Structure formats: structure tokens, C-alpha cells
């Protein structure tokens, strides 16, 4: 029998997974073996006869299950970024097994007894601040998993966890199936009317990938469909494409997510009540900066009201533009982007086709790298012929000021049918120092439309902002400087984790960055100063729309997780009723409608937590002001504080304390309102 590469020592450069030798069938054996090994590790720790110490319990847990961590990270990075039917079947099979394995550890009475004993003795253990934080997180993690329940409660909690894992996997796979199955083939000149060259080029590339050489295809990737909605003069096709995009997860048949949503909410509610909380939102928020649903709602409503008012003003301008063009229909959701592009051209003399030639993917990558060099002293060296899971993936060695390796950064930038939609950061390995100086391997995954062969890939400004956002997450993982895996990198409160990413976006809009890296892809000429000025002047154009579509999703997420009887949920009726209550403009849809709301239902990472982007934005707007107050957006002293207290600190301290240490005071919500162009 051949050796399973997932269960062998890796001899690849930088300990990257040996992707070329890994087959889907290797994962089944590897998961079984790795879970058995991890369970044996846990049992040894729990069954010790000697009294618990920080070393023999907490440190031992931190160094246990290493094979399982390695296998799981490799597998789930693949299922997100480059999956296939074989991997998806394994994912469906392994999700409940992993949940069962996790429950067996977290509900182990003897293990919890050791952690609880250490927690009770914490003041006499002479722990340093990092040790104390890790002990606190273990105590909290076990409690919130149900370790304090009786045997019947633990058994039920384990069943709930397994079922939720299965439901989350099915939800995600259903959305991916709806996305990958859809293609809008543009057959005629009428179908292609109004589309700029950059979109036709990427649509031709998408057609080639689907075996439709010589045709043009619009997909449900955001970087394909949004510009189609922005530029297509064919209103019938705009409507068709938008409705397909909006209907992901509720098309009937085996990919319909509505029953999954109801069951998921019911089980989450049951779990929360078992742990003594009124509903899942209260349970989830108890371990965040926000603390309570009322605090979250207070922030969202404060932003919602001026956003809706501005969105209605924006809609009136769109309607005027349509009437002036001889169109007498009301503005619908599939019209908004089309007419807003025309209004932007009229008000700011700015359109996407003018901007895009100056926003080459390669240059924006370099702009993100250069910003990290100027802030934190990092340098990036591209490595060729590295083991990667897809030919499009690029690998960079990241070096610190001293020339030593900080970690590896992988960039996976292009849309494909084997990749779920959206953009995200993940890790193949996290930084820690428990067993030597373990450096991180971080990946950013995007879904940009690829340029034609031999041609530059051009981005929208929103695409460029997304790249900076995800690279901010990447830096949070790369710059981590902690001892323990439990608190490494992005292992922080959900409503704090978006601070490093959203803060990093600010540097993209700085004239000294754009003037250097926004150069024409054919001539190499920098973006004209007049165009740069127009771009910056239009920074808050359409901000009412953008804020409404996001905030509506955050408010709906919050309400979903406070339902008294989620089992009887009619998803469409609930969505319509709640949007009516808050006064959602009819011409705007939620950024993520419930049936494809992957942040919330593909696992519970952002469940009752989609507000986190805005909570973090209060901090990021305020934090960037710290640089502006110094008159230098690369001020070394402020950058040093940012590195020490935010980017390198992981979860070493409470997030409020971390922000206070950086800024010297609590953040002001006024900075957020000003950033979005709303009156403070």
C-alpha cells in the first residue's frame, strides 16, 4: 500500500502541503487516523493522576492533535478554493465526524475538571499575562461548549453540534452548486450591448473555461455579474442575471437552503437555551466586544437612519436619470448599478471604464506589499515552482526588517467554478513558539475575473479595496507574535477581527499610493492627477446604497437569531416582513439574502455577528485618524504601536484593552459617520 502523504513528514519547501501527491481518497484515511491520534492525546491529558498544572494541561492541549490540525487545514482550504465532487462527498461525511470528535474533547468531564481547577487557582499560579489569557480562553471555550451540563445535556449538545456541522456543509455546497451551474451566455450584439472591453474580455475567458470558445459568459461571481449590471444596456438580461444572483439557495430542488436555515436556527436556539441564554444572539454576543443584542442594534440603527435617507436621495437621482433617457419604469434592483454609474459620470465625470485601465491586479498586489513595507518593514520575495493546489496560486516569502523569514504568503486571485464565491484569508499553518519558532503560512483567496491570456487583469476600485482588505487579514496572521496557537493571528473576537483588514483599506485611497501604482496597463503612464482627484472626490458616491444593503443584512441576521420559534420560519415571508419594518427601500436588496447568507449559515462564524464589520469600522475609522493627526499616513511611531498592539498581538489581551493601548482612548462613532459621508 502506498504511503499516505497526509500522514507522512513533509519534505516540501517551507513545509507546504505536498499537493501534487495528495488525492481525495487520502483524506478519509488521514482524518480517521488523525482523529484517533488527537483523541489519544486528549485522553492522556485528561486521565493523568497528578494534579493539574498549566504545563501538563493547558500547554499539553496546545501541543496535542497536530496531525489533525495539519490534515484539516489542508482539506478545508481545498474545499473552499479548489473543490470537486470527491472532496465535497468527503466534506459531507467528515463534517459530523469532526463535530463529534470536538464534542468528545470539549465535553470530557475529567479534562474540564482539570481546566476548572486551574481557573479556580489562577491567582496563585504565577502566570504571565499571555498564560493567563490562554487559560481564560480555555475555560470560556469549554463552558460555552456545554462542559458544565449534566450527562443528558452533554449528549444532546454533541448531537446538536454534529447536526449543525452537516447542515452548514450542505448550505455551502448548495450555494456553490447554484453559482457554478449558472451561466448567462451572451449570443448576440444585443446581448452584449453596452459592455466595455474589459468585461467582454473576462466574459470570453469565462466562456473558454466552460468549453464555449468564441462566446461570452457572465457568471455569478461578483466580479463578473456586478459590472454586467453596471454596464449592460439590455434591461431584460440585467433582470434575468440579477434574479439568478438573488435566488441562489432558494431555487427549489436539492440545492434549496430554506429547510436547512429553519433547522439550523432551531438547533442554535436550543443550544443557547441549554446554556442559560434567552436566544442564540445573546449567547453569541456574550463573548464579543458588543456583549448584547441591544448594543449591536443601537450601532446599526444609528447608521441605518442616515443611510436610508441618503439612499432615497440617491434613488431619486437615478429615477431622474432614467426619465431623462426616456425610460419611464421605476428603479428596480437590477437598475440601480446601471443608473448609478451614469449618475456618477454626470456628477463626478468618472466612470469605471476610465478607471479600470489604471488598476492592474499586479500593481495593486505590489501596492499592498509596499504599504506593508513602509508600515512594518516587510519585504516580499516571489518563489517559483512551489507546491500549490492550483496553477494560478502564487507564493511569496515574507521577510522582516532583520531579513529573517516572517512567513509565507499565498495569493489565489482568480474566479473559477471550483471555488466558492467571495474573498477570504485562511492559514495552512499559524504562528506560535511552543515548539520552536513556527512561522505562518497564510493564503488570500479572491474571485477576480481573469484577463485574456497574455493580457493584464484589470480591477474595479471595489476589487482593489477587497484585495487590500484581505491582505490586512493576511498581515494579521503573518505578523502574529505570540507563544500559543490558541491566541495566534486572527484568533480574536469576531467584532475585532475586521479591524486590521478594514483599517488596511485606508492606504489604498492615499494619493501617494495611487499615484505610484495606478498606472495605465498599456502605456505605463500614471493615472492623471485630474482623474485621481475625481476618484477621491467620489469616494462616498452611492454610500447610502452600500450602507443600506450591508446594514439590512446585519439587522436581519440579528433578528433571525432572536426568534422565539425558529422551527416554523418561512424564510421569504420573514425577510419581507423584517425589511418592511425597517423601511428597506424597494430598489435595494440585502447584500446577502438569507438563502445564500454564507457568513451566517455555512458554519456559525458570523452567525448573529455580521454586524462585526461595522463594529470594527468604528475602530478602523478612528484608528486611521491617529495617522492623519500626525500628518503622515506612514508615521513610524503610530505604525509601531499598530504593530505591537493590533497586528502582532493576536488574542493576547482583551480587544478593548488592545485598542486602548494603541489609541489611548475608546473609538468615536463620529469617525465612522464622517468616513461614510453621513453627518455626525
Q: Which of these, 175, 637, 184, 226, lies nearest to 463 by C-alpha position? A: 226
Q: Which residues are registered as beta bridge partners of 442?
A: 409, 427
CA dist., res. 656 & res. 634, Å (int): 24
Compute the distance between CA of residue 446 and CA of residue 422 in angstroms, rounded to an integer: 7
Sorted by sequence, the CB contacts under 8 Å of residue 408 that are 6+ apart come out as: 14, 16, 395, 396, 397, 398, 439, 440, 441, 442
Closest by CA to 341, choosing from 350, 332, 333, is 350
- Other Cβ atoms less than 10 A from the Cβ of 625: the count is 18
Local structure of 196: helix, strand or coil: coil
DSSP string, 570-585: -HHHHHHHHHHHHT--
Q: Which residue has the cell 502564487?
A: 394
Helix or strand holding residue 587 (H, E): none
Calpha distance 457→380 (Å, rounded):
21
CA distances from 661 to 267, 331, 472, 638, 641 (A): 39, 48, 20, 11, 8
The Cα–Cα gap between 89 and 550 comes to 33
Predicted confidence at residue 269, as pLDDT, reads 97
Q: List, as one string, the DSSP characters of 411-430.
A: EEEE--TTS-SS-EEEEEE-
* Model pLDDT, residue 672: 87
Residue 636's contacts (CB-CB under 8 Å, 6 or more residues apart) are: none
Assess whether 568 carries a catalytic annotation: no
Grid cell of 109 as nine digits: 468531564
Q: Maximum Cα–Cα distance for the chain, whole Å?
A: 83
Backbone angles phi, psi at 306, to 5 degrees: -70, -30
Rounded CA separation 588/561 (Å): 23
Contact, 473 vs 490, CB < 8 A?
A: yes
pLDDT along the chain (680 residues), means of 10: 89 96 96 98 97 98 97 98 96 96 97 98 96 98 97 97 97 94 96 94 92 94 93 97 97 96 97 98 96 96 95 97 93 97 93 91 98 98 97 98 97 94 96 96 96 90 96 98 97 95 96 94 93 91 96 98 92 96 96 96 93 94 95 98 98 95 92 81
Question: Buried (b) or exposed (e) across 349-383, using 16+ Cβ within 10 A?
Answer: ebbbbbbbbbbbbebbbebbbbbbebbbebbbeee
Let me know the angle formed at the C-alpha of 505 by 462 and 641, rounded to the nearest 5 degrees.
175
Q: Among 598, 497, 563, which residue's Cα sits nearest to residue 268?
A: 563
Which H or E run contains 118? helix 109-120
What is the distance between the alpha carbons of residues 196 and 320, in angstroms, rounded to a whole number?
24
Q: Are 379 and 373 in contact (CB under 8 A)?
A: yes
Q: What does the block give as the cell for 43?
A: 485522553
Instruction: Tell me the three cell numbers of residue 632.
Output: 503622515
Q: Quickly count: other Cβ atoms within 10 Å of residue 13's Cβ.
A: 13
Cβ count within 10 A of residue 345? 15
Catalytic residue, from 62, 130, 205, 470: name it: 470
Q: What is the pLDDT of residue 679?
A: 65
Please give the grid coordinates belonging to residue 226.
456586478
Note the Cα 77 to chain centre separation in Å.
13
**How much is the pTM?**
0.93
Identify the residue whose cell numbers are 437590477.
Answer: 334
Q: Find, among 60, 38, 36, the residue nearest to 48 by Cα.
A: 60
Residues in Cβ contact with 89 at an 8 Å cutoff, skipping those fewer than 6 apart:
none
Pull the grid cell for residue 101.
470528535
Residue whose cell numbers read 492615499: 510
Closest CA to 476 of 508, 447, 440: 440
Query: b or e along 208-231 (b: 16 or more beta carbons within 10 Å of the residue's beta carbon)?
Result: bbeeeeebbbbbbbbbbbbbbbbb
Residue 498 confidence (pLDDT): 95
| Closest C-alpha among 199, 236, 194, 197 to residue 219 | 199
Indicate the angle between helix axes 543-560 and 612-629, nearest 10 degrees.
Answer: 140
Residue 200: partners with Cβ closer than 8 Å, 6 or more residues away = 192, 216
CB 516 within 8 A of CB 314: no
Length of the chain as a residue count: 680
DSSP 2: P
Amino acid at each position: 500500500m502506498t504511503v499516505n502523504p497526509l500522514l507522512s513528514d513533509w519534505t516540501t519547501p517551507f513545509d507546504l502541503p505536498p499537493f501534487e501527491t495528495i488525492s481525495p481518497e487520502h483524506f478519509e484515511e488521514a482524518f480517521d487516523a488523525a482523529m484517533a491520534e488527537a483523541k489519544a492525546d486528549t485522553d492522556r491529558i485528561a486521565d493523568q493522576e497528578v494534579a493539574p498544572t498549566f504545563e501538563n494541561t493547558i500547554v499539553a492541549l496546545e501541543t496535542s492533535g497536530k496531525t489533525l490540525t495539519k490534515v484539516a487545514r489542508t482539506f478545508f482550504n481545498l474545499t473552499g478554493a479548489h473543490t470537486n465532487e470527491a472532496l465535497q462527498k468527503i466534506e459531507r461525511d467528515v463534517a459530523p465526524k469532526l463535530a463529534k470528535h470536538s464534542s468528545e474533547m470539549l465535553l470530557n468531564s475529567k479534562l474540564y475538571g482539570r481546566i476548572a481547577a486551574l481557573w479556580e487557582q489562577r491567582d496563585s499560579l504565577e502566570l504571565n499575562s499571555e498564560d493567563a489569557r490562554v487559560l481564560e480562553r480555555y475555560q470560556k471555550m469549554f463552558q460555552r461548549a456545554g462542559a458544565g451540563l449534566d450527562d443528558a445535556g452533554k449528549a444532546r449538545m454533541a448531537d446538536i453540534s454534529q447536526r449543525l456541522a452537516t447542515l452548514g456543509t450542505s448550505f455551502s455546497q448548495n450555494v456553490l452548486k447554484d453559482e457554478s451551474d449558472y451561466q448567462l451566455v451572451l449570443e448576440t450584439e444585443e446581448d452584449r450591448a453596452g459592455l466595455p472591453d474589459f468585461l467582454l474580455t473576462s466574459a470570453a475567458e469565462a466562456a473558454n473555461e466552460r468549453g464555449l470558445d468564441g462566446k461570452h459568459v457572465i457568471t455569478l461571481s461578483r466580479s463578473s455579474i456586478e459590472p454586467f449590471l453596471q454596464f449592460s444596456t439590455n434591461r431584460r438580461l440585467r433582470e434575468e442575471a440579477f434574479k439568478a444572483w438573488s435566488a441562489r439557495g432558494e431555487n427549489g430542488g436539492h440545492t434549496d437552503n430554506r429547510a436547512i436555515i429553519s433547522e439550523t436556527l432551531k438547533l442554535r436556539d436550543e443550544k443557547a437555551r441549554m446554556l442559560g441564554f434567552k436566544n442564540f444572539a445573546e449567547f453569541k454576543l456574550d463573548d464579543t466586544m458588543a456583549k448584547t443584542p441591544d448594543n449591536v442594534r443601537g450601532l446599526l440603527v444609528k447608521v441605518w437612519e442616515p443611510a436610508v435617507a441618503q439612499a432615497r436621495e440617491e434613488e431619486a437621482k437615478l429615477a431622474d436619470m432614467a426619465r431623462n433617457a426616456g425610460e419611464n419604469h421605476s428603479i428596480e434592483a437590477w437598475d440601480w448599478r446601471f443608473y448609478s454609474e451614469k449618475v456618477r459620470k454626470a456628477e463626478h465625470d468618472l466612470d469605471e471604464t476610465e478607471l479600470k485601465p489604471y488598476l492592474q491586479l499586479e500593481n495593486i498586489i505590489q501596492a499592498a506589499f509596499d504599504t506593508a513595507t513602509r508600515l512594518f518593514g516587510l519585504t516580499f520575495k516571489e518563489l517559483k515552482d512551489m507546491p500549490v493546489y492550483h496553477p494560478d496560486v502564487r507564493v511569496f516569502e515574507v521577510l522582516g526588517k532583520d531579513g529573517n523569514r516572517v512567513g509565507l504568503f499565498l495569493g489565489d486571485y482568480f474566479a473559477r467554478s471550483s471555488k466558492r464565491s467571495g474573498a477570504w484569508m485562511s492559514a495552512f499553518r499559524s504562528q506560535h513558539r511552543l515548539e520552536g519558532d513556527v512561522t505562518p503560512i497564510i493564503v488570500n483567496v479572491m474571485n477576480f475575473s481573469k484577463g485574456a491570456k497574455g493580457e493584464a487583469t484589470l480591477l474595479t476600485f471595489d476589487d482593489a479595496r477587497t484585495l487590500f482588505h484581505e491582505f490586512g487579514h493576511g498581515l494579521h496572521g503573518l505578523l502574529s507574535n505570540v507563544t500559543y496557537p490558541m491566541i495566534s493571528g486572527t484568533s480574536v473576537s469576531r467584532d475585532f477581527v475586521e479591524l486590521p483588514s478594514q483599517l488596511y483599506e485606508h492606504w489604498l485611497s492615499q494619493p501617494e499610493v495611487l499615484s505610484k501604482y495606478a498606472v495605465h496597463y498599456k502605456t505605463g503612464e500614471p493615472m492623471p492627477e485630474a482623474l485621481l482627484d475625481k476618484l477621491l472626490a467620489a469616494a462616498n458616491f452611492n454610500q447610502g446604497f452600500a450602507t443600506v444593503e450591508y446594514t439590512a443584512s446585519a439587522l436581519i441576521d440579528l433578528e433571525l437569531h432572536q426568534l422565539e420559534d425558529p422551527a416554523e420560519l418561512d424564510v421569504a415571508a420573514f425577510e419581507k416582513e423584517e425589511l418592511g419594518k425597517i423601511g428597506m427601500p424597494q430598489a435595494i436588496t440585502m447584500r446577502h439574502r438569507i438563502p445564500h447568507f454564507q457568513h451566517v449559515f455555512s458554519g456559525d462564524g458570523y452567525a448573529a455577528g455580521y454586524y462585526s464589520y461595522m463594529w470594527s469600522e468604528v475602530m478602523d475609522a478612528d484608528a486611521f485618524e491617529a495617522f492623519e493627526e500626525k500628518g503622515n499616513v506612514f508615521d513610524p511611531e503610530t505604525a509601531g504601536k499598530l504593530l505591537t498592539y493590533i497586528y502582532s498581538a493576536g488574542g493576547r489581551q482583551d480587544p478593548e484593552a488592545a485598542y486602548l493601548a494603541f489609541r489611548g482612548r475608546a473609538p468615536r462613532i463620529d469617525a465612522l459617520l464622517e468616513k461614510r459621508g453621513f453627518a455626525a
